[in-house]
């Protein structure tokens, strides 16, 4: 491709031609004439000249260029234009027999309606205008698209695409140079020399320092923590000026950082000086923040491990001592009986004891019992001291390396951290009597204060435990961190918030006036509370009753009609046998999803689609690139070529855009409407066992056994399309990530209602979903144990009274209303990611007003939802139906992800995320392909007179895979794909298709 070309041939056509499938709405939008337009058009005497001039005006509007002589005009556009002029489209054939006529009409349109040809002054103005966007992105196609839209808006006739591309290319280069200069202008000669040293191989270690910095962190333990700190301090010692980050757009910085991660040291060394240093500075500053976050996360995990191991040790000890404890219990039962008998017979107590065992043995047994006894509260904190030395292997470095800052509630904790650091630095052992202790919770008191003195070990462990909790909540922040900032820093700045308030532009789905809001919710809650009360009192709530002051809900009965399963099996028997490779090729021919896998640096499309699809398939089936290269039939399809495409074209954002292309296509298929309207979704986590070397983000969730695992958390629409997936810790609660999928998918779906199981529910999720306009519908397994919440004035004679919990704290919601709206706005406009803020809120100590206020809002919504749930068997049945779709998706995912025993063996979070995205894209492709062919099969049967009940189709899932060959040779034939209008033949048998 020439140096100044930014687009492919196909992309140029897309920008310069009217789409073949242009919609009626777009025709009206672009080609409706106003009075001024008609005045200049009607100035021509002859019919064909009026029609031709009108067509020229249409092309000036969209696509924004000159209509060329002899160019065919789409019939739909010509008919619409002719109808406005009250003439027949056929007259257009007579137009512009001479090109002079076309040019004269064009000149008049330009003069009268203000269209300009591109000039030097236009070129300079557009370049200056585009420069602002080019600071944010260097994607060539995005710059060209913005440039063309601006020319259309300002009535500049689009010149040859080579001119447009050259303008975008030159502007991008200027922006890149200014971006590089912003990152490097503060570098000294010594710093440049040190940066170059990152690219030189260390002979002793046989690697460059850059490669060392890129190595994954490993599992959370003191050894790996210290390694992370070594890398962090290595970067810090370079004394790079982080203030330069404020001058550049974060997207550009992230992209350049990725290039620093992906590119070999040798290749970086060959870059020109400005670009080389900018790449290294971006990589180092971003990596430094990652190291901070990783170290803090490791501390969190190690503190948790400290408590879990102590608790496990208590349980093991208790189990180990079980026999001895039982013997002592039986012994003291015998002694008790002897003492009781002695008292009743007025005998001697000591003699009674010695009738069971000798006095010396009795003394010995008391001593043994004391050793076997656990604390009265059966706590395990007394065992923590045995693990203090493990903390000391890394915590002095933790305290010396990072600067901790606290909000008011946590000020005493930071003071205590500084005290411990001072004791470490001066080699003093004892905690002074005036040490800060206000943060010590009751559970710690008897261990921290020992015989009137402060116990150093327990004091330090208490402080470090409180540090973990305050970092989670945001009450303590860490300088240089991305994940552990002050809570206030995550929210929209106050000045920007006030602008939104003053302009009444707060982007939430509820009224922003508190009085109106609370009155509406009170009225609705009273209404539903009384309605349910009346239905309960008259035994008219289907499947719901209260027994012994407890709520009892009967399981819903499936509404699947008899014969639906058999019908589904028979329909699937009609579908063609096909390989997964063929599905990917065919779905790409329909949707063009591969066009979104662009080069990280240049934005170019992958030149070899087979290599690209093979790389995607390797992710999807968990085969890996080495094995995929071995499985491919051609010797030209090497591991090196696969790895290059994987490095430069496969990213989360390219997978996300490709997935959106498939989901959007699927949504438009009429057959999809049998399953839903695309406004409802559900989400669920799927665990995959982790194998190989331990990675940082793998966890053991005791709920699911003792294996290490990672979780792929996926959102699926009611039409079965899996529209979002991400990797989460196995120990993370699903509720933390519910909103991410609803807000950050890139599809055209407009989700209004969302279902989860119990793990996806918290009161905070209820609250924030309501504020953002989502109806949250969790299927709560323990609903009967959840209390309803109420306002003053609740009906005191209601049969629901036994289910009532605490009263809604209206005063607290009112006091925090502005902060609640600001938090929701921050999530809505992307100031902070939903999962991050939900994690912070969940970690807040109970006294935090904002967290409790949002919980109160959530309690209102949960109570309302519960009342709706009790009234509606249809809602309960729908929840089961939607969540079952997720279970079917999980089964299909498990079938596709079959290589390496279905285990995740990637070490880094990024690689695991890419693996999950590849799997999800393949599943989405299967769902789309199945939907198209199921529709084809059903239509064929209907055309042959087979009467198919509509309810059968509603229960026909596109998640089947028995007809798909997931294993075997991975052969690609790009020419074999069937078009959407010419599908593969169905499998037919001689026997007629009958419904029993």
Under the banding of pLDDT at 50, 70 and 90, the label for residue 1 is very low
What is the structure's pLDDT at 529? 95
Over 50: is that where the pLDDT of 733 sits?
A: yes
Summarize the confidence of residues 530-557 as an average pLDDT.
88
Determine how many CB atoms are found less than 10 A away from the CB of residue 533.
18
Q: How far is CA 542 from CA 529, 530, 549, 554, in A?
A: 16, 17, 18, 9
Over 90: is that where the pLDDT of 669 sits?
A: yes
652 vs 646: CA distance, rounded Å: 11
Over 50: is that where the pLDDT of 991 sits?
A: no
Summarize the confidence of residues 229-247 as an average pLDDT.
92
pLDDT digits (tens, 9 = 90+) for 367-417: 888 777 766 666 788 889 999 999 999 999 999 999 999 987 789 999 999
What is the structure's pLDDT at 692? 67
96 vs 53: CA distance, rounded Å: 9
Query: Looking at per-residue confidence, does 707 or 211 come out higher?
Result: 211
Over 80: is that where the pLDDT of 694 sits?
A: no
pLDDT digits (tens, 9 = 90+) for 673-686: 999 999 999 999 99
Over 50: is that where the pLDDT of 636 sits?
A: yes
* Percent of the chain's residues with pLDDT above 90: 66
In sequence order, what are the beta bridge partners of 690? 904
Tell me the range of 357-371, 399-413, 635-649, 763-777 where mean pLDDT is highest.
Answer: 763-777
695 vs 609: CA distance, rounded Å: 32
Point out the least confidently predicted range of 383-397, 445-459, 834-848, 898-912: 834-848
Compute the residue count for the chain.
996
Under the banding of pLDDT at 50, 70 and 90, the label for residue 114 is very high
- Give me the torsion for CA of 151, 148, 178, 282, rounded to 10°: 150
Is there a contact between 571 and 936 (Cβ–Cβ < 8 Å)?
no
* Percent of the chain's residues with pLDDT above 70: 96
Under the banding of pLDDT at 50, 70 and 90, the label for residue 142 is confident
Tell me the range of 230-244, 376-390, 920-934 where mean pLDDT is highest.
Answer: 920-934
Under the banding of pLDDT at 50, 70 and 90, the label for residue 993 is low
Is there a contact between 153 and 19 (Cβ–Cβ < 8 Å)?
no
353 vs 331: CA distance, rounded Å: 10
Query: Looking at per-residue confidence, does 559 or 620 come out higher?
Result: 620
Q: Which residues contact 138 (CB under 8 A, 6 or more apart)?
A: 172, 175, 176, 252, 255, 603
Is there a contact between 577 and 989 (Cβ–Cβ < 8 Å)?
no
Is there a contact between 774 and 508 (Cβ–Cβ < 8 Å)?
no
Summarize the confidence of residues 777-781 as an average pLDDT.
90
Under the banding of pLDDT at 50, 70 and 90, the label for residue 325 is confident
What is the structure's pLDDT at 992? 55
Summarize the confidence of residues 927-948 as an average pLDDT.
94
pLDDT digits (tens, 9 = 90+) for 816-848: 999 999 999 999 998 899 998 998 888 766 557
Point out the least confidently predicted range of 290-304, 458-472, 724-738: 724-738
Q: How far is CA 183 from CA 238, 244, 247, 468, in A?
A: 14, 6, 8, 34
What is the structure's pLDDT at 672? 97
Mean per-residue pLDDT over the chain, rounded:
90
Tell me the range of 329-333, 501-505, 602-606, 728-732 where mean pLDDT is highest.
Answer: 501-505
What is the structure's pLDDT at 311? 85
Point out the least confidently predicted range of 205-209, 405-409, 505-509: 405-409
Pair type for strands 753-756 and 722-729: unpaired
Summarize the confidence of residues 947-972 as an average pLDDT.
92
Residue 684 has phi, psi (to 5 degrees) of -160, 150
Over 80: is that where the pLDDT of 38 sits?
A: yes
Summarize the confidence of residues 403-432 as an average pLDDT.
92
Under the banding of pLDDT at 50, 70 and 90, the label for residue 990 is very low
- Which residue ranges make up each domain of the chain? 32-115, 403-490, 491-540+751-871, 542-679+896-996
15 vs 7: CA distance, rounded Å: 10
What is the structure's pLDDT at 508? 95
CA nearest 440: which of 430, 452, 454, 428?
A: 454
CA nearest 272: which of 338, 180, 340?
A: 180
Over 80: is that where the pLDDT of 2 sits?
A: no
Helix (H, G, I), strand (E, B) or coil at 721: coil
Over 80: is that where the pLDDT of 695 sits?
A: no
731 vs 157: CA distance, rounded Å: 58
pLDDT digits (tens, 9 = 90+) for 326-355: 888 888 888 888 888 888 888 888 888 888
What is the structure's pLDDT at 698? 55
321 vs 312: CA distance, rounded Å: 14
């Amino acid at each position: 491709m020439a140096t100044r070309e930014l687009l492919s041939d196909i992309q140029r056509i897309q920008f310069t031609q009217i789409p073949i499938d242009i919609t009626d709405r777009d025709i009206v939008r672009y080609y409706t004439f106003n009075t001024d337009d008609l005045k200049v058009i009607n100035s021509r005497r002859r019919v064909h000249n009026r029609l031709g001039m009108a067509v020229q005006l249409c092309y000036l509007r969209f696509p924004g260029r000159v209509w060329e002589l002899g160019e065919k005009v789409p019939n739909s556009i010509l008919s619409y234009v002719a109808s406005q002029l009250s003439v027949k489209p056929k007259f257009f054939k007579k137009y512009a027999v001479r090109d002079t006529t076309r040019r004269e009409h064009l000149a008049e349109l330009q003069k009268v309606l203000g269209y300009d040809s591109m000039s030097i002054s236009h070129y300079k103005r557009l370049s200056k205008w585009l420069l602002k966007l080019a600071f944010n992105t260097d994607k060539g196609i995005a710059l060209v698209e913005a440039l063309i839209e601006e020319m259309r808006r300002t009535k500049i006739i689009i010149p040859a695409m080579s001119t447009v591309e050259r303008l975008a290319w030159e502007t991008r280069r200027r922006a890149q140079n200014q971006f590089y200069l912003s990152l490097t202008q503060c570098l000294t000669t010594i710093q440049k020399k040190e940066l170059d040293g990152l690219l030189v191989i260390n002979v002793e270690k046989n690697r460059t320092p850059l490669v060392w910095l890129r190595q994954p962190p490993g599992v959370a333990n003191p050894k790996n923590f210290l390694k992370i700190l070594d890398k962090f301090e290595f970067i810090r010692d370079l004394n790079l000026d982080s203030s330069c980050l404020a001058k550049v757009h974060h997207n550009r910085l992230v992209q350049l950082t990725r290039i620093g991660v992906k590119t070999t040291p040798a290749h970086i060394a060959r870059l020109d000086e400005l670009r080389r240093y900018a790449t290294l500075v971006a990589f180092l500053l971003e990596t430094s923040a990652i190291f901070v976050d990783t170290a803090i996360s490791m501390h969190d995990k190690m503190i948790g491990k400290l408590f879990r191991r102590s608790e496990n040790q208590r349980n093991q000890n208790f189990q180990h001592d079980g026999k001895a404890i039982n013997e002592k219990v039986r012994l003291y039962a015998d002694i008790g009986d002897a003492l009781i008998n002695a008292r009743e017979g007025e005998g001697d107590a000591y003699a009674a004891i010695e009738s069971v065992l000798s006095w010396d043995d009795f003394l010995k047994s008391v001593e043994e019992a004391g050793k076997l006894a656990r604390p009265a509260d059966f706590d395990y904190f007394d065992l923590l001291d045995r693990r203090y030395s493990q903390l000391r292997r890394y915590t002095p470095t933790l305290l010396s390396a990072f600067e901790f800052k606290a909000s008011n509630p946590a000020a005493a904790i930071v003071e205590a951290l500084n005290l411990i650091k001072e004791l470490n630095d001066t080699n003093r052992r004892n905690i002074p009597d005036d040490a800060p202790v206000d943060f010590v919770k009751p559970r710690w008191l008897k261990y921290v204060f020992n015989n009137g003195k402060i116990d150093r070990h327990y004091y330090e462990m208490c402080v470090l435990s409180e540090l973990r909790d305050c970092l989670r909540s945001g009450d303590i922040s860490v300088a240089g961190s991305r994940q552990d900032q002050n809570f206030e820093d995550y929210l929209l700045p106050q000045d920007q918030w006030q602008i939104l308030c003053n302009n009444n532009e707060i982007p939430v789905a509820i009224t922003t006036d508190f009085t109106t809001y609370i009155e509406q919710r009170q009225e609705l809650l009273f209404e539903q509370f009384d309605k349910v009360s009346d239905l309960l009192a008259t035994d008219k709530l289907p499947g719901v009753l209260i027994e012994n002051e407890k709520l009892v809900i009967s399981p819903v009965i499936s509404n699947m009609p008899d014969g639906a399963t058999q019908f589904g099996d028979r329909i699937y028997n009609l579908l063609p046998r096909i390989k997964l490779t063929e599905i990917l090729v065919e779905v790409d021919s329909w949707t063009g999803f591969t066009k979104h896998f662009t080069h990280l640096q240049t934005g170019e499309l992958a030149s070899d689609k087979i290599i690209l699809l093979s790389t995607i398939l390797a992710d999807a089936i968990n085969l890996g690139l080495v094995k995929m290269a071995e499985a491919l039939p051609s010797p030209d399809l090497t591991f090196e070529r696969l790895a290059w495409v994987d490095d430069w074209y496969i990213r989360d954002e390219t997978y996300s855009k490709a997935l959106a292309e498939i989901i959007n296509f699927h949504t438009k298929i009429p057959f999809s409407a049998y399953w839903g309207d695309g406004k409802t979704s559900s989400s669920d986590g799927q665990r995959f066992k982790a194998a190989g070397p331990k990675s940082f983000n793998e966890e053991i969730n005791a709920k699911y056994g003792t294996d290490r695992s990672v979780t792929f958390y996926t959102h699926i629409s009611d039409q079965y399309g899996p529209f979002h997936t991400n990797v989460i810790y196995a120990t993370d609660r699903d509720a933390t990530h519910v909103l991410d999928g609803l807000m950050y998918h890139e599809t055209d779906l407009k989700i209004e209602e969302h279902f989860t199981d119990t793990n996806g529910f918290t009161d905070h999720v209820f609250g924030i979903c309501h504020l953002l306009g989502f109806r949250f519908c969790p299927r709560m397994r323990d609903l009967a144990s959840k209390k309803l919440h109420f306002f003053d004035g609740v009906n005191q004679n209601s049969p629901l009274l036994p289910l009532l919990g605490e009263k809604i704290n209206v005063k607290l919601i009112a006091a925090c209303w502005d902060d609640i709206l600001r938090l929701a706005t921050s999530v809505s406009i992307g100031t902070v990611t939903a999962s991050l803020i939900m994690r912070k809120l969940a970690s807040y100590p109970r006294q935090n007003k904002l967290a409790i206020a949002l919980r109160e809002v959530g309690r209102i919504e949960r109570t309302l939802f519960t009342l709706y749930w009790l009234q509606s068997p249809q809602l309960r049945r729908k929840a089961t139906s939607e969540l079952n779709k997720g279970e079917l998706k999980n089964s299909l995912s498990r079938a596709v992800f079959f290589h390496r025993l279905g285990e995740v063996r990637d070490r880094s979070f990024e690689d695991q995320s890419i693996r999950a995205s590849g799997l999800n894209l393949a599943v989405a492709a299967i769902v789309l392909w199945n939907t198209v062919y199921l529709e084809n099969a059903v239509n064929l049967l209907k055309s042959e007179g087979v009467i198919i009940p509509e309810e059968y189709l509603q229960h026909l899932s596109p998640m089947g895979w028995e007809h798909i060959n997931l294993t075997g040779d991975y052969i690609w034939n790009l020419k074999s794909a069937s078009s959407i209008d010419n599908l593969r033949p169905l499998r037919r048998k001689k026997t007629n298709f009958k419904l029993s």
